[in-house]
Amino acid sequence: MTALLTDLNPEQLEAVTWSHQSALVLAGAGSGKTRVLTTRIAYLLQSGRTRPQNILAVTFTNKAAREMVARIGAMLPVNTRAMWVGTFHGLCHRVLRAHHEDAGLPQAFQILDMADQLAVIKRVLKERSLDEKMLPPRQLQWFINNAKEEGLRASQVDVHGGFNQTLAECYQAYETVSMREGTVDFAELLLRCYELLSRNEILRDHYRSRFEHILVDEFQDTNRLQYKWIKLLAGPGSQQHAAIFAVGDDDQSIYAFRGAHVGNMRDLEKDFSVPKIIRLEQNYRSHGNILDAANALIEHNKGRLGKNLWTAAGKGEPVRVYHAATDMDETSFIIDEIKALHADGLALSDIALLYRSNAQSRVLEHGLFNASVSYRVYGGMRFFDRQEVKHALAYLRLIALPDDDNALLRIINFPPRGIGARTLEQLQDQAAMLGTSLWQAAFKVYEGGKAVATRNSQPGRGIAGFVSLVLSMQQDGEGMPLPEIIRRVIDQSGLAAHYQAEREGGERLENLKELINAATSFVHESEDDSLTAFLAHASLEGGEHQAEGYQDAVQLMTVHAAKGLEFHSVFISGLEEGLFPHENSRNEPDGLEEERRLMYVAMTRARQRLYLSYAESRMLHGQVRVNIPSRFVDEIPQDLLKRLRSDFSGKSFRQGVSGTGQTVASTINSSQKGRSTMAAVAGMTSSGLNSAGFHVGQQVSHAKFGTGIILNYEGSGTDMRIQVNFHQAGTKWLSLAYAKLEPL
């Protein structure tokens, strides 16, 4: 017993040895939560207070469940298989398999994953003759799962006619199909199990008498139905009731978009008459300045249970805040710091780059690739490998080279336009018989007049409608700037509307907008700004340059993906109003507090070094936008910060521009506007440029782009690049060694 409790701090010891009462353990980041949970189970077993078969432990991932069992097995020579340890879905599945008849399920019922569920929903819509454009399948999927997570059947959904009535009727039809085919989706597992235990007193009492201790990890992430399920099993106030041991942190509740209800922690305290909240506040991960900054930030949230993290590791280094002129400047700073840290002996894998939105990774990936710094996108795909980006690129490839069969196959029926597998098979047979590409075979169908589609109408359905759409895009794009071509393709193809209808399509839409940004940057940086050149660039950027799993590499990830991880050094980029906190938070109840919790999670990933950065101007939606720093930076005491800035005036983009998110992209069309843009580089030294025979503000001529004005420069010697605002071609970055500029 003594060995089991060795090295526990007083609060951890109190939690582990808690009496047979329900407990709420408020475990701060890096406070040893997992150790406390597993040691609690081992203590209960070793002290003889319970047996393995009387323990139910709930986690949120199968990985966490396996790790918990392995740790307990290493601590004690007990039969861990007798314990019930698993996820909510896994445990409910176990109950339903054992009692399938009582649950109204066939013995061999099958579980639908999200893709399978979506396929069933599409069948329901087709059977009811409902257009997927009017009722997107993913929207109906979200409606059904959300209702189930609230504990509501189709007959219980509150509708007031109109569209909601249609959704409820489709939900009812979906339930009918599921019952007929003997299938259950993920949300159904929990709801069906809850209903079974609610109405079957014998079964409910059986499980209540069996489970004496119910332990729940990451309790702040539970939704309403999960809490009701736990409460039903525990039976507070009944003769046979279990002791709940809930471990969580309300300050790390960041999954409201998945249904997580942070109020469950307050409900637990009341419903189970928890006599005391045990607070684990000693942090074993981060240095003091990082924790003090995180504590100060999260104090701005209201209604917290309250805790204050501290460490015995000392204050450490201040939190570094970098004030960048542009997003490219921000990226350059981050890469320079990474190189310096690596040169000092820090492994790249112990460095993390965090961002609020997946779309932000593109600029960072581009910079790391060009700097030959190995990186890996954690828990996600590289920018150019993401589904929505590859769809958009496929449309662009088809416009540039219609005979690209791979591109055509990818998007001929995406978004759906009524081209089924049989129709596509016939098209492939026709192409093979004629010895042509699929496009040429499709064009013959179009010319044959098998469908009517005009250029000015909505894209038609079927093969002829698809051909008409591509032809329209080709014609519309002639003579247009590259970013505008991409913007129109995203809109005309239906991709934007398709993802707009998805529950979690916002992130995909942001990635599509970032593709426009990528094109805008490409136009500014490349002498060949054609669509073909951009597609080649995208292929090269999306090539196999991401580090393999065994290689040392910088970790790139969203803040959501970073939860539960830790790194020596952490960079949090894009700390600007509208980006972090995200602009959507303004329209959601408690949205800003959720964003602040997300920032708290991001900051507490760092052990020794924390970098915060923001840019005065950032490319958004194909335009340069002026930003103001995130309020989160200002909420941190100044004495904890070490402010860094690039060598620009700090007043640059504010001159003549007021308010958040003001566009300065209009400064690229005339010489007068070019002069106003020069204010953005005020205070920069131009000695290196002068030595090359040029200076900021000088008029120059280029053989292809015509005349323009030098706005900026970077680098030196043969690596020097200069930024020129051309009167006709817009702003471009050119290599001085190859540009062949002529002074005027």
**Catalytic residues, which ones?**
33-34, 217-218, 252, 605
At 613, which helix (H) or strand (E)?
strand 606-620
Within a 10 A sphere around the Cβ of 647, how many other Cβ atoms?
Answer: 11
Structure tokens at 381: 């795909």
Sign of CA dihedral 373, 377, 383, 386: positive
Alpha-carbon gap, residue 116 to 137, rounded angstroms: 12
Burial (0-12, 13-18, 19+ Cβ within 10 Å), 462: buried
SS3 351: strand
CA angle 122, 115, 159 (to 5 degrees): 50
Token pair listed for 725: 């605002």
φ and ψ at residue 280, rounded to 5 degrees: -95, 100
Ordered DSSP codes for 204-215: HHHHHHH-SEEE
614: phi then psi, degrees, rounded to nearest 5: -145, 160
What burial letters (b/e) apply to 411-422, b meaning 16+ CB within 10 Å? bbbbbbbebeee
End-to-end CA distance of the chain: 86
Q: How far apart are CA 482 and CA 486, in angstroms?
A: 6
Distance CA 531, CA 473 (A): 13
Residue 330 CA: distances (Å) to CA of 175, 574, 575: 51, 9, 11
| 183 strand-pairing partners | 110
Longest CA pairwise span in the chain (Å): 93
Q: How far apart are CA 581 and CA 162, in angstroms?
A: 35
CB 732 within 8 A of CB 723: yes
- Identify the burial level of 712 via C-beta atoms within 10 angstroms of its C-beta, where 0-12 means exposed, 13-18 middle and 19 or more buried: buried
3-class state of residue 530 by DSSP: coil
Nearest CA-CA partner of 634 in 361, 252, 319: 319
β-pairing verdict for 55-59 and 213-216? parallel
Cβ atoms within 10 Å of 487's Cβ, excluding its own: 21
The bridge status of strand 110-112 relative to strand 742-743 is unpaired
**Which token pair is 474?**
């080709």
Comparing CA positions, the residue from 654, 618, 612, 667 lying closest to residue 635 is 612
Counted residue by residue, the chain has a size of: 744
Centroid of chain to Cα 296: 26
Sign for the CA dihedral angle at 466, 471, 476, 480 comes to positive
Cα separation, 121 vs 105, in Å, equals 20
- Structure tokens given for 446: 């179009």
Secondary structure of 246-308 in HEC code, one letter for each residue: EEECHHHCCCHHHCCCCCHHHHHHHHCCCCCEEEECECCCCCHHHHHHHHHHHCCCCCCCCCC
Give CA–CA dist 363/393, Å, rounded: 18
Q: Which long-range contacts (CB under 8 A, 24 or more apart) does 656-659 make?
A: 657/626
Distance from C-alpha of 677 to C-alpha of 431, rounded to nearest angstrom:
54
SS3 string, 529-583, reads CCHHHHHHHHHHHCCCCCCCCCCCCEEEEEHHHHCCCCEEEEEECCCECEECCEH
